Structure 1
Amino acid sequence: MKLYSTNNKDHQVSFQEALFRGLPPDNGLYMPTAIPELPSSFFEKLPGLSFQEIALEVTSALLSEEVPVEVLKSICDDAFDFEVPLVEVSPKVYALELFHGPTHAFKDFGARFMARIMGYFLEKSGEQIHILVATSGDTGSAVAQGFLGVKNIKVSILYPSGKVSPLQEKQLTTAGQNISALEVEGTFDDCQAMVKQAFLDQELSKKCGLSSANSINIARLIPQSLYYFWAYGQLQKQGLPVNFCVPSGNFGNLTGGLLAKKMGLPIKHFIAATNVNDIVPQYLENGQYEPRPSIATISNAMDVGAPSNFARMQALFGDSWEEMKAEISGYAFDDDTTQEVMVRIQKECDYPLDPHGAVGYLAIADFLQDKNEIGVFLETAHPAKFHEVVKATTGLQPVIPPKLEALLELPKESRLTPPTFEALKAYLVE
């Protein structure tokens, strides 16, 4: 698979090069030069396939020129060895639970796949790399778990001090071994800007062997397309149009869905759901893309003021606002409305929503009014990861999985860092 930079279509690289570079030197994002359409026979048999079988079919169509099919099979079987339940929360509204992996968040899909495919290439070359990643919560913990103990790879995670949940922070700061945490005295946008600047510093990037595991990396994006195929296959026999609603921050998850549709998956419509950081819903409404400083909310993983995957979304629609608006509807909700639906769905449906899933439920329920269609919203994190918010809102303490509960007793290990590139560079050189 060849990939180009969204800032320069003439800059083209192999998948392996894009995987380890993370970002093109011109500060664009890597996108496939061509997206293969899967055969009709694949979609006919989709309802009977396992998640791993779907994953192999999709990743083979994209990557088999550089990664042998038998290697991809081993990677998919190992990376996706957990359940992906589809739960009907209310009539024709389903939660796709993406939080049954090791860190109980959807980021496990991308991080585990990426760690294994990087490991495959590094084993062949014998080289060493340093993964640099910014996180607003779940990305960092998934990367920490996915890359923990992987040979030839060091990982440094940047997260905004005081702006992730206590349990998320424990996941980021207690791994040890080849994982380090930088607690940045700023916002997630600061963390993301610092990481981008490091990659754009060609001398530093080369000297430190920098690579990325954020959703800016194409290897994170590919596995985020897989669960759309899986969910659609489970609903296919109902014979109704299927719409997907994605609680969104950096918009990698939604971009993965768009990639699945480009490969032939007949999704009817996408709904981009955000909290008050509504940069993309505003764009969908008026055609003006206006990034701004993020605002802290209870759905903190979506507190993003400059979504990094927006350039990929534009590329998929040929920079056409009209085409994007025809495929995606935008919704935004404040904390009060989010908490109200958490209480209502817990009471009426006996289903615990985390704050991000609650935003997704609100949007899909509103979109489906008077439509005889199916709606799937992505439940991206276990409610226990936000147990303080869930308990304060609903009065009920979500059951904390044993692995998460054990983290609460571990001592935090992080390095407090100013929100500047200079501070990050000094750390990396050191």
Structure 2
Amino acid sequence: MADHVESILTTIHKRNPELNAYVSVADEQALRSAEACDARIRELGPAAWRDRPLLGITVSVKDLIQTEDLPTTRGSLLRNRRADVDAPAVQRLRRAGAVVIGKTATSEHGWSASTVSRVAPPARNPWAPGRTTGGSSGGGAAAVAAGLCSAALGTDGAGSVRIPAAFCGVAGFKPSYGRIPYVPSGAERLSHLGPLAGSVRDVRELTAVLAGPHRDDPDSGLLAPAPARDLPALRIGWLEFPGTSAEVREVSERVCPVLAARGHRVEQMPVPFTDPGPALVDILAAAEAAGTAREDEADCDPGRLAVVRYGRTLGAMDLMRAEETRLALRRRLASVMECYELLAMATVPVEPFDAEAIAPPGYENPAELRWLSWSPATYPFNMSGQPAITLPVGFTSAGLPVGVQLVGPVGGDDLVLDAAARLEADLALRPTSPDHPPKGS
């Protein structure tokens, strides 16, 4: 294990100046952890994995998540400190034997669906370094895609695991809200912790370690996951969101006959709800405003500051209307999921844009309150709390990954993971790596 971790660290220090995936690397701590793994294996042999299923697996942690041995800056000039203890999810990773190898880049407080901040240069997509990773878990997605760790722990408040996973050609899972404890959690009740990895199987193994209630996150004890069951022929609703590019549409829809060949019934259907984006913006902006003191404005990211200032204009009635929209969306999607076991769609309707931009052209101005609306297939399921996974399904003619998202009912995490694993196997997509891109790139 120590030799493997040392090799990973060497690769990080070689590649990170180009990709900017990491903001800090735990060289000494990671090597000590790897040596402890080796000692355990020498002592116990194969039994070493019995209660430590992630023994020796290298995992990066998003810089929004507390770690006791590395600074947690939250992508901000305002914070650069070590927490007293690891977040519960990090504790669980370590107890399972994972080697935490570093902290990965994020936008400030995760405010945008890109990975641009004032703490570090923009994270860059390993498939095309001039392009964005997406965000705000973009550092983790880039690290997994480039082989700078085996898996990453991210956060997802509006698509922040799934967008970069899709852009970087890896699997990313947002479990049902509360499945993985998020400490400290936010009052907006949109943010989920979720894993990113090179395969659905790895995502599932990480989720099994991370999931379960914790006393410091009251929401984590509310969910009763649906029992696992054999996958029958499923009824799957295929959604196409406005603004989907022709090439993303063509690549993503190739999965429909693959699903049908498995015996599933795939039905094209209109998006069955009104865009909840304006309500999401109000909820997020109010939360950002509540957490930002006026004396800190000079050190804020300018884009996030525009969101904060908008949040300060909102009143109680505005927030109640936003919450009513959220409740109506949850009811509507619960009704839809009575007719369909799964929903499927292109994860992101556009290809990765410029690495230094916070959004595609036409969406860059936060003051216009459209900075997230270019990804309309991700944030509705934060509002509803449903489990959603993205997995890579192909490439554009420029060699850029395209992801498809599967969404299940609240609590139906195992159903989503099962379906995604079978789709992954049926596609048999084997891109070698960003260093050896597919033909046509």
TM-score (norm 1): 0.28
Higher relative contact order (CA 8 A, sep 6+): 1
Structure that is richer in helix per residue: 1
TM-score (norm 2): 0.28
